[in-house]
Chain A
Amino acid sequence: MPESDALSPLLLDACVVINFAASRRFEELAAACNGFSIVDVVVAEAHFVRKGGTADDANEREAIVLDGLIDTGHLRVEDAANDEELDAFVRFAADLGDGESMTLAIALHRGHNIVTDDRKASRIAAAHGIKITSTLEVLRTWAMTADPGESEIRRALVDLRERGRYVPPQNHPLRYWWDQHINQR
């Protein structure tokens, strides 16, 4: 995450909520980034991760519960507050799903950075001058600031992979960081 953006609120899209929940380190990640924001439509869209682990039910769905994070203030829920934001939401919705559209609309009008790994959402956000951060950038920020130890970092990445089915593309700028930590034994 660029240093100059460190204090800008980070608005998560649904895919990133799933990734953070899958990593089992949502609270720690939020603490490392001064909390996250999320729009209410995304709360309704981020439903499940996989259970993971070694039991027979490893591939079954596990519901994502955000109530605790919201109650403790690690996650702030935001919604369109005026006609301009609502108009932007509807305009973005011509191209994107509702959660992504509301995320972009709020980010555009409130100057938030968004956290997304989505190619299409990133392209549209960039075209509107919205700053973008990725799942791996947030994880790396946590790894650098909280210094949780190598095995803990690896465990978070493995959880992300097996519970969120997330694998960064080969051309991801932090793919080397992912490979370096997930292949640690």
Chain B
Amino acid sequence: MTAENPVTIDPTLLAERLARFRAAAGFTQQQAADAIGVARTTLTAIEAGQRQARSNEIVQLARLYGRTVHDLVRPSAETDVESFAVQFRAARRPPGTTEDDDLRHDIALFERLCQNYRELEALTDEPLLRRYPEEYDIHGLDIDRAAEEVAEAERNRLRLGDGPIVNLWDTLEFDVGLRIFAPPFKTKRLAGLFAFTQSLGGCIAVNGEQPEVRRRWSACHEYAHFLTERHRAEIAIYYQYERKPSSERFADAFAQHFLMPTSGIVRHFHEQRRAKGDEPPTAGDVVILSHRYRVSFQAMMHRLETLRLIPPGAWERLAAEGFRPGEARGLLGLSSLQPERNTVPLRYETLAIRAYESGQLSEGQFAAIMQTDIVGARETVLEYFAGTTIYQDEADSTWQQTALDLNTSLVAGS
């Protein structure tokens, strides 16, 4: 291998990535070519797969685009990777949403997590099973009615009944086959992202910085886009619309009906009321009901208002009086909802650990895939795979190591 005989890396894949990463980093061909000291026509030829990139060019371009060389030259199981950056350029988004560095970062992170996931599946030969329904056609229908019908159809399809959805994340991942992440977005007001490609399937990221009830709502909101317009990427940002377009109103209405189905809410509401001797409902009752359904107090108040189970305007009145749902939960002895989802799903983590333990990933690659540093990656392996924990003894503050073998087989003799 010399500069005269460029390295043998799939030139089509490399060309496609160079163009994709340049676009994601916001450079024109001319800017990128100037930065590495080649003619624009040279870069054009490289990106078109007509000229192989030399090693020094690959290294310089990786640095310029903020990627590793590994990102550029690694083999891929993908054949149809359409850049998320390209998808999101045409995405449905609130007006005035500029593609600043933070949003670009968040989209690139989302794409990387999705591709990592797909590649872990390829390494371990464990594809995520898809149980996708046909897209629902809601054109021309009343939005709230359509949302309720789609939510009910999905609850039936997934055999969820009409009660609270406790394992929302597992349901969407294992019963539907979506890839769902909860990374801490840099864009504070970014609630969620949705994208779809043939090879990755439906992918959702909700802002991990949100409280759990918000994360769940955002996941259902993005799920609605998957169910009705899965080939169109979506960016959801809080409070950006003066008037929400119908697709957004549908997505919110779907989230409401999916998380709080009419029959279940009405039944629980009346059961709760009967238990109190038919006393009028109180704010405390709604706090309990919202906790049971794992939604925010505000969302449950709105739901009860639309079902005419409480007087209209009740939420506004309570808010104006300074009612604090969090404090109310504490007084009622209800703990706040703990996040059920880390940045990456448990299945993703399990596949990554398997790939690392079998020597298919290096420690550095494993850490990068787990979005942590190398020591953090070691902690993950120690605690998860071998059940080994390093802990500080409370009695004498010394560090101890204990092993609890979580991988003990339940099958005798195996």
Instruction: Establish whether residues A97 and B58, one from each chain, have CB atoms under 8 Å apart when the complex forms.
Output: no
Contact of B382 among A61, A120, A167 (CB under 8 A): A167
Residues from chain B with a CB closer than 8 A to the CB of A96 are 70, 362, 364-365
Given contacts A18-B375, A87-B1, contact A45 B364 (CB under 8 A): yes
Q: B340 CB to closest chain A CB, in angstroms?
A: 23
Q: Are B2 and A84 in contact (CB under 8 A)?
A: yes
Residue of B nearest to A18 (CB): B374
Q: Which residues of chain A are within 8 angstroms of B129 by Cβ–Cβ distance?
A: none
B392 at the interface (CB under 8 A from A): yes
The answer to whether B74 and A14 have CB atoms under 8 Å apart is no
Most buried by A among B75, B360, B363, B364: B364
Which of the residues A14, A84, A88, A165 comes within 8 Å of B379, measured between beta carbons? A165
Our pick among A15, A87, A165 for the contact of B7 (Cβ within 8 Å) is A87
Q: How far is the CA of A167 from the CA of B402 in the complex (A)?
A: 11
Indicate whether A27 reaches chain B with its CB closer than 8 angstroms: no
Alpha-carbon separation in the docked complex, A14 to B38 (Å): 33
B interface residues, how many (CB within 8 angstroms): 38
Say if the beta carbon of B69 comes within 8 Å of chain A: yes
Cα-based distance from A52 to B397 in the complex (angstroms): 11
Q: Could you tell me the distance between the alpha carbons of A167 and B388 in the complex, rounded to whole angstroms? A: 10
Residue from the list B55, B74, B375, B397 in contact with A89, Cβ < 8 A? B55
- Which residue from B69, B363, B397 sits with its C-beta under 8 Å from A90? B69
B7 — which chain A residues lie within 8 A by C-beta?
87, 90-91
B399 at the interface (CB under 8 A from A): yes
Which B-chain residue is minimally distant from A46 (CB atoms)? B374
Contacts of A47 in B (CB 8 A): 373-374
Q: What's the A-B contact tally at a CB cutoff of 8 Å?
A: 115
Interface residues on A, range: 35 or more
B378 near A166 with CB under 8 A, answer: yes
Could you tell me if B378 and A87 are in contact, using CB atoms closer than 8 angstroms?
no
On whether the beta carbons of A89 and B69 are closer than 8 Å, the reply is yes
B124 on interface, CB distance cutoff 8 Å: no
* Listed residue (A49, A96, A120) with the most chain B CB atoms within 10 angstroms of its CB: A120
By the criterion CB–CB under 8 Å, are B73 and A90 in contact? Answer: yes
Contact B399 A98, beta carbon cutoff 8 Å: no
Give the CA-CA distance A89 to B9 in the complex, in Å: 12
- Check: A28 CB closer than 8 A to any chain B CB: no
Q: A96-B70, A120-B361 are in contact. Are A165 and B382 (CB under 8 A)?
A: yes
Q: A90-B69, A119-B359 are in contact. Are A15 and B364 (CB under 8 A)?
A: yes
- In the complex, which residues 1-35 of chain B have their Cβ closer than 8 Å to any Cβ of chain A? 1-3, 6-9
Contact A98 B68 (CB under 8 A): yes
CA distance A45 to B365 in the complex (A): 11
Question: Which residue on A lies nearest to B70, using beta carbons?
Answer: A93
**Closest CB of chain B to A168's CB: distance in Å?**
12
Report yes or no: B390 in contact with A162, Cβ–Cβ below 8 A.
yes
Would A97 and B368 count as touching, CB distance under 8 A? yes
Residues in A whose Cβ lies below 8 Å from that of B68: 93, 97-98
Asked whether any CB of chain B lies closer than 8 Å to the CB of A113, the reply is: no
- B346-401 residues with Cβ-Cβ distance < 8 A to A are 359-365, 368, 373-375, 378-379, 382, 388, 390, 392, 397, 399, 401
CB neighbors of B among A154-169 (8 A): 158, 161-167
Does B198 have its Cβ within 8 Å of any Cβ on chain A?
A: no
Interface hits, A71-127 → B, CB 8 Å: 83-84, 86-91, 93-101, 117-121, 123
- Contact residues in A for B365 (Cβ distance below 8 Å): 96-97, 120
Closest to A165 in B: B378
Q: How far is the CA of A170 from the CA of B372 in the complex (A)?
A: 25
**Does B59 reach chain A (CB closer than 8 Å)?**
yes
Q: B373, A120: Cβ atoms under 8 Å?
A: no
Partner of A121, one of B2, B362, B392: B362
**Supplied contacts A94-B75, A96-B362, A118-B364, 8 more A-B pairs, CB within 8 Å:** A83-B3, A86-B59, A87-B2, A90-B9, A90-B59, A96-B364, A98-B68, A165-B375
A/B interface sample: 19 pairs, CB < 8 A? A14-B374, A15-B364, A54-B397, A83-B2, A86-B55, A86-B59, A89-B59, A90-B55, A90-B58, A90-B59, A90-B69, A93-B70, A94-B70, A97-B70, A118-B363, A120-B365, A161-B399, A165-B378, A166-B378
